[in-house]
Structures are given as C-alpha cells and as structure tokens.
Chain A
Amino acid sequence: MLDKIVALLKESGVHAWELSAVKERGWEFYFIRHELDQHRAKDLEYIQIRVYQLIEDGKFMGSASADLSPTATEAEAKKLIQDLAYRATLVKNKPYTLNPPRPGQPMEAPVDVAAIAEDFIRTMDALPETDTEDVNSYEIFVSDKVRRFLNSEGVDVTERYPDSMIEVVVNARKDGHEIELYRNFTSGSCDSEALKRDLSKAMAYGRDRLRTRPTPNLEKADVLFSGSDACSIYEYFVDRCDPAMIFRRMSDWTVGKPVAEELLGDKVNVFARRELPNSSRNQGFDSEGAPIRDCCIIQDGVVREILGRRMFSCYMGLENSFHPENIEVTGGTASEEELRNGPYLEAVEFSDFQVDEMTGDIFGEIRLGYWHDGETVTPVSGGSVSGSMFDFVKDMRMSREQAQYDTMRIPALTLLKNVTVTGAEG
C-alpha cells in the first residue's frame, strides 16, 4: 500500500510530501483488584500524508495533511492527494525545506508483546500489599510499534520499538476512611523492580495521606519536588529552547544567553539523549525524519542549542535540528541530605501539577506534602502551590542524585524557593 501511495505522490506533481505510517500490534489487560475486567487485542495501521505546494512563484509554501485509511482504494488515495494538493495552495507560510537524508541509526528493538505483558501481570501479582494498602485496579497496555517515515527528499526510515503503559490506582484505608493514589507509568518494556519500588512508595504515601493535617498558610516557602511532577519543571526549560517558541517571540531565550539575568542557585544542564534505559521513546529519528543525536541544550544555565521541529528550525537557520524525545538534566551541586536542610514543604502528590511554558506560571493542588519545619515533619494536604518560573529559575537548587521517569532523567530532588503556598487551614 505504501509503495502505491509513494508512486501516486510522485505522479501528482506536488512540490514536496511526507508520508508517515505506524503499524501497532497491541495487547491490553484491565483489572479490578486482581481480577480480569476485560482483555483486548488490536491490530492497527495509521497512514498520514502531508503535501506541500509553492505559491506565488515560491514566495510562499503551503501544506495540507490527511489520514488515509489503510482500507482506501487506489482511486480514493489518488483523490485524497489531489484534494491535498489543492488545499496546500490555500495557506501561505514562509518556504522551508524538508529534512534531507542524513546518517543515523534507526531503532530496531525486538518486541515480544506476550512476554512483556506477562512481566507486568506477574509483577502486579507480586506487590507487597497489606490489609490497609493495596491495589484497587490497573490497566496494562503493551504494543509492538513499527513506524516508517518517508519524504520527497529521499528520507526512508523504519523503526521498531516496544511501547508500554501501566495505570495503577492504589488504595489506603484507616478507621473506615479510604483514599486513592493514581499512577501512570510509561516505558519501553516492563521494569519489574522499578514498578515494585514506585508502587511500594505510593502505598507508603497512601498511609501518610490518611494522617495528614491541613496544609498551613505558609504564604511563601521553599518547596521540594521529589517525584515525577518535577519533570514539568524541566520541560519548561526544553520548551523555552524550542524554535517554535523563540521564532514567535513567546520565548526570549537565545544561544549564548543565560536562562535568567542573575543565577544565584544551581546552574542547570539540559541534554537531548538518543537513548535512556527502557524509555518508550528510544528512537533514531524524530517524526519528521531528522536524526536524533546526543547534544547539550543548556550548559551551566546558558542556552547552547535550539532544538525543535523542522519548520521553525529552518526559519532560524538550524539545519541539524531535531525534536528531542529523551531529556537528561544535571547540574545539582547538593546531596539529597543537604537539600533537606531547614524548613521546607516537600510536595509529593498533586491533583495535577502544571507548568505553563508560555507564561511561566506553575500551579498544583497539594494532595500530599510533608511540612518540615526544621524540627518535625508533618504530613499535610489541601491548599496549593503557585508562582512563576521566571522567578524560580534564578535561584533553584537540585540534587546531584538523579531519578528517571520514562523519557526524562532529572535530579532526584528539585528545590524551588519562595513559592506561594496557599494553605487549607480554616
């Protein structure tokens, strides 16, 4: 089918084109407690075509895209390409070139869906549950994905990789009161030890959440992030270095410029990584066919490389750019023990922690935190944290130790200073 579409695209006379096809064979298992609610299998294929046309003697370039059903006939595919060729003339963008073929190493990982699914099922069966902390329900998703990308410049890349996810709801109860904690882990295959460790920690958090006090009205406090929510903080740094943000003036970060005028705290290093252990996005090429390489985006708090998708990269003259999939962050100068000095609020569970990459605003309702007043540690819940990354980047601290959350390896502890903490006390 793809060869036929390529032939049709070449015959169509369009200026340029991209073709992306994903085949997915997946298994899914849904559990209530440890009983099987439902099992599902899927055999899917997605094809997307994007066509480019030059307008007004090459002054502008337009594009149009569509999904093509794998059940489409040749006549339907031809009609679709004709429609796209017309629609692409309707929108006027500054011209740019598609990715040319460049050396790279496509990912070709063997995938055994049944074996990975079995690992997840057996791991969940072996969790150290107790009478008061256990698993409410979980959903296991395992896929074998084959992704092929072609374009009119001659790029033709095929990659195969495992893509897994497990969603787990953990319960904890005491004196007739029950709470839940939600976890969603993505990964390549099943890392049993990491899963057991993270879910055991979730059960411990559940125990603590049942003995919380309302978060005090701290007004301003140092807040320590010790879980996956810190990924959002570091995604802010990556997003601010995206050419789509910079070209449109939504980010004023540029190569050679520090991320803030006066950096008083740790100086962050951000790296794009082609591979991280068991990441669900270990790929040799990005979704537009650009080879992914290891490189430094921010070094000692100074922007070193702008990375992102092709269109805005071209506009900024960044020929070797790509969209980074895996990120590593270093730069912490303190040990975990040193960061845990003095009064601070350790926030470990939020309703939905968010960092807005455009405005820099951070928000999160606290579901579980630990207020360390310098002498005692009190589990707290309710209230919220808020503030602006524009202010926090100037004086943030990080641990030397790292933790990995699927596609991000980041400092195990991140300390933001002078965060607004709205309490939940009456």
Chain B
Amino acid sequence: MKAPFSAYLSGIKPGLQQLIRLLRPDYDYVSVLATDSKGLTVRISRHARSVGSETMTTERGVVVRVYRDGQYSEYALSCFDPARPEAAAAEIRQALDAQLALLAKTGVKPYPTPLLPDEPVTLFVEKETELLPEETDAKPLVDKLSALIDKMGEQSEELIECMASAQSTHVCKLFLTENRDMSQSYVYSEGSAAAVAMREGRNQIGYQSVSGLCGPELFDQLPAAGDKAVKTALELLDAGRIEPGEYEIIASPEVTGLIAHEAFGHGVEMDMFVKNRALGKEYIGKRVGSNRVTMHEGALCAENVTSYAFDDEGTLAGDVTEIENGILKTGICDALSALRLGIQPTGNGKRQNFAHKVYTRMTNTVFDSGTDSLEDMIASIEDGYLLEGMESGMEDPKHWGIQCIIKMGREIKHGKLTGKIVAPIIMTGYVPDLLGNISMLSPHREIFGAGGCGKGYKEWVKVSDGGPYLKTKARLG
C-alpha cells in the first residue's frame, strides 16, 4: 500500500501558504518546511522492556526560511496555529529583527549569498510499504522480540544479556514556497540484535542490524541477526590482540560502508568546500583511488533509511557519481552552499529535525561492486585480516586522515583463514592510500542503515552506506 500523507500537514497547509504570503512583502524569499513523522519503537532485553512511539526522526513542527539583504535566517516553531498565520508572521518578524538588532550592535557583517531560485515544482509522493508504524499492533512484535532474546540467551551460559530493538518511522514532510508545493510520505525501519558475553569479568558484545525502506515487516529478518550477534559475542571471548602494523585486509560490506562514509562521504560534503575545510575541493578531477574504485552517493542510488524524494530545502533527490574509476568527479551539496559555489545542489540538504539548520549531509553512500570472489580475495593474501563489524568512525576532511573502530579481524595466513580472531581493531590511515590500494571488489553488495551520523559531534541524521567486500592495505592497531 501507499504510505498515506499526513492529514495534519494537509490540514495546516492553507495556513502555511497564507504565512508565506504574509511574510513575502518583507522578504525576497520565504520557504516553509513542515514535518509530521510518527514512529514505533520496541526494545526488549532480559531485564528492561519498553514500547514507545519515539524514534530518532519522529517530529512535528515548522521551520520558516527567509532572505533579505543577502542574508538567510530561519525561525523554527513547534506550535503553528493554521487559523492565525498572522500571529506566527508577527512572531517571526519580531524574533528575527531582535537578532538583527544584536548583530548590528556587535558590528557583524553578513556572508553574502545570492537569492535562491524558486522555479515551480509540484510533487506528491507516497512510497510503498506493507505496514505503518503508527497502526501496527505492537503485541506480535513484542512477542517476536521476546522469543528472539530468549532463544539467543539459551545458546550459552556465558551470555549475560541479550537485546533486540525494532524501530519504524513514517516520515511526512511538506515543503512550500510561493511556487513550490512538495509533499512526501515514506516509511523506513531499522532493527538490531545484540548479545553480551562475559568470561572472567571481561565483556564482549556481538551486534547485528537490519534496515530498509519499508515498514515493520522488516523485523522478520531479526532472528537471523540474533544468531549472528550471539555467534560474534562468543567468538570475541576467544579473541586475541592484534600485533600492530600494516596489513593486507579484506573489508566486509559493513566495514566497506564505514570506509565509504568516512573517506569520501564527509570529505566531499560541499558546505565544507565553502569554508575551505575539505581537501577534496582541490582534488576534483584528480585521482584519489585505484581505477577499480567507483562510488555513488544520493537518496536515489539505493533504497534504504534515507531514500527520500526531496531534501529539506525542496531540492529533488539525486544520484551523484562521486568517484569514477578512481577519479574524484564531484561532491554533494545543499542549496545554499551550491549558490555560494556556483553549482547545482544535489539534494543533500538535511536537518536533524525541523528545529535544526540545514547542512550538506550524506544519504546512501556506496562503493560499486566488482567481479572478484571473496574466496579469491582470501587466497591472494599472505598475511592479513578479514575485517568484520563496525563500531564507529571519524574523518579529517582537511587532512584526509581516517579512524575506523572495527569489531574484529579474522586472521588470514598463506591464503587461508586460520580461525584466529583479533579484537578490537582500530584502523587508521591516509584516505588516498587506503583507496589507492584497493585491488579487488566482490560482486556481492550490502547496504546498512541502522546507525546515525553526526556533523562534528552534533546534528544527527539517518544515513546508510555499504558496498562489496574489498581488498586493500591498512594500518591496524
């Protein structure tokens, strides 16, 4: 079925259109983004169980963007009364004028930015889903997750805690200007299973996630995730420490996704180009990886948790080829940064929620597949590791340093997996070296979207990333 667009947003739309008309004489540009996203969350562990309607992206509110004298400003409010748009208009003018008075008092000069174009666009998108989170009876889901953690816990006495979570969000957004009327409704879901094992007072955690552009029907995949989480936790109890050094590695699709995200995800967010904060700006058209490396980014290049029809500035979703055969082609860009750089926006202007500013953000960031089998990759390695499971990552777009915390490595000696596991692993290095050494890629490709991504240490948004198994060299510790 189609995920139905929010009746609440449809109801306040005439009031918002009137608000735009009321503000327009005072400003050269006025846009409104209104959101109404509902969710379902079930978290089950041995000792704590809960059901909720809040997810990372549930929200209801309105943000108004205006432009005057080369300056953009915004006002976010959670209580918009569609019967009294004139009250909201007065409130917005008063608050923004008070800020301008402070800026004048302190002598702050604007960073001049051109006027956003406002070509007419009318769009109404309702994407397919089997179930809606707000209408799903939580009971079968609670029962399913409870049975799952019971089954997980039965597998070993060394398991001290098992956890399963399921979250589904029905996103509805309305974007309006004088000339644009854009509505979208879609459902995405994510779930995870985790197992904590303990031996001699030391804990290890196994974790596995699922995600997709679909409703709570996704959670049928959780039992398999639970089995993998338990297996990982128990394997980690026997893990040794790695001898630090440079190794040939095979990144599993999850680790490949982490590399994509940290290496040329953040590194080509073009609001960073505006601030001269990214080395990528100087490398457009130049080689940044081996000729086997092709990477895509965009809401349209995969179907996962952030595959929307338009972004939070009313720009249509895109599919950008960032790297083609090792050559950096372009980056991703929000609308204001595009104006400042004199390029077209790519549909990557995203907000944490209506109350937050737009930044250039990732959507789906994915390495293209290759033709090499995993078996051939393993056979080609004399001394190295197959890396599995991601913990976290951090990039340095100015310096192209990268840090990836990885769950575990499976030792490979003389072309064979030895059965020995090392954990945890910190992979560090220089992005062009890491990508430049990519020599094999598998046909198999997976995409992961269960996590969140921050800009610096804030502004959390949903992203997904992934790719195939890939072989390269990296420094491991």
* B424 contacts partner chain A, Cβ-Cβ < 8 Å: yes
A386 to B428, CA, bound (A): 12
Output the least CB separation between B385 and chain A (Å). Answer: 14
Are A44 and B78 CB-contacts (below 8 A) given A93-B49, A422-B244? yes
User: What is the 8 Å Cβ interface bit string for chain A, positions 328-367, against chain B (1 contact, 0 not)?
Assistant: 0000000000000000000000011010001111011101
Binds B, one of A35-43, A98-106, A196-204, A410-418: A35-43
Task: Find residues 10-35 in chain B having any chain A CB closer than 8 Å to their own CB.
Answer: none
Please determine whether A358 and B203 come into contact, CB atoms closer than 8 angstroms.
yes
* B213 contacts partner chain A, Cβ-Cβ < 8 Å: no
* A284 contacts partner chain B, Cβ-Cβ < 8 Å: no
* A320 contacts partner chain B, Cβ-Cβ < 8 Å: no
Please determine whether A41 and B202 come into contact, CB atoms closer than 8 angstroms.
no
Residues of A within 8 A of B102 (CB): 114, 117-118, 121
Output the least CB separation between B384 and chain A (Å). Answer: 16
Please determine whether A44 and B398 come into contact, CB atoms closer than 8 angstroms.
no
Pick from A38, A71, A90, A180: contact of B139, CB below 8 A: A90
Binds A, one of B90-98, B308-316, B319-327, B461-469: B90-98
Residues of B within 8 A of A420 (CB): 241, 244, 477
Output the least CB separation between B252 and chain A (Å). Answer: 19
Are A248 and B403 CB-contacts (below 8 A) given A38-B73, A354-B392, A424-B475? no
Output the least CB separation between B56 and chain A (Å). Answer: 12
Pick from B52, B53, B106, B161: contact of A125, CB below 8 A: B106
Are A351 and B396 CB-contacts (below 8 A) given A39-B103, A248-B47? yes
Number of A-B contacts (CB under 8 A): 239
Who on chain B is nearest to A38 by CB? B72
Please determine whether A359 and B103 come into contact, CB atoms closer than 8 angstroms.
no
* B60 contacts partner chain A, Cβ-Cβ < 8 Å: yes
A81 to B276, CA, bound (A): 50
* A258 contacts partner chain B, Cβ-Cβ < 8 Å: no
Please determine whether A248 and B357 come into contact, CB atoms closer than 8 angstroms.
no
* B205 contacts partner chain A, Cβ-Cβ < 8 Å: yes
Residues of A within 8 A of B86 (CB): none
Residues of A within 8 A of B91 (CB): 43
Please determine whether B76 and A365 come into contact, CB atoms closer than 8 angstroms.
no
Who on chain A is nearest to B161 by CB? A248
* A178 contacts partner chain B, Cβ-Cβ < 8 Å: yes
Are A384 and B426 CB-contacts (below 8 A) given A36-B108, A91-B50, A118-B102? yes
Who on chain B is nearest to A35 by CB? B111
* A137 contacts partner chain B, Cβ-Cβ < 8 Å: yes
Residues of B within 8 A of A364 (CB): 403, 426
Output the least CB separation between B476 and chain A (Å). Answer: 8
User: What is the 8 Å Cβ interface bit string for chain A, positions 242-259, against chain B (1 contact, 0 not)?
Assistant: 001001111010000000
Please determine whether A90 and B138 come into contact, CB atoms closer than 8 angstroms.
yes
Please determine whether B75 and A42 come into contact, CB atoms closer than 8 angstroms.
yes
Are A354 and B405 CB-contacts (below 8 A) given A32-B275, A39-B103, A179-B399? yes
Pick from A66, A247, A250, A361: contact of B196, CB below 8 A: A250
Residues of B within 8 A of A36 (CB): 71, 103, 108-111
Please determine whether A365 and B109 come into contact, CB atoms closer than 8 angstroms.
no
Residues of B within 8 A of A33 (CB): 111
* B74 contacts partner chain A, Cβ-Cβ < 8 Å: yes
Please determine whether B202 and A63 come into contact, CB atoms closer than 8 angstroms.
no
- Chain B: residues with CB nearer than 8 A to chain A? 8, 42, 44-54, 58, 60-61, 71-81, 91, 95-96, 98-100, 102-103, 105-111, 138-139, 142, 160-161, 196, 198, 201-205, 241, 244-245, 274-277, 336, 355, 357, 392, 394-396, 398-399, 401, 403, 405, 424, 426, 428, 456-458, 475-477
Knowing that A33-B111, A39-B103, A180-B399 are A-B contacts, what are 10 other residue pairs whose CB atoms are under 8 Å apart, sorted by A's residue number? A40-B76, A62-B49, A67-B58, A125-B106, A136-B277, A179-B398, A180-B396, A312-B47, A386-B477, A422-B475
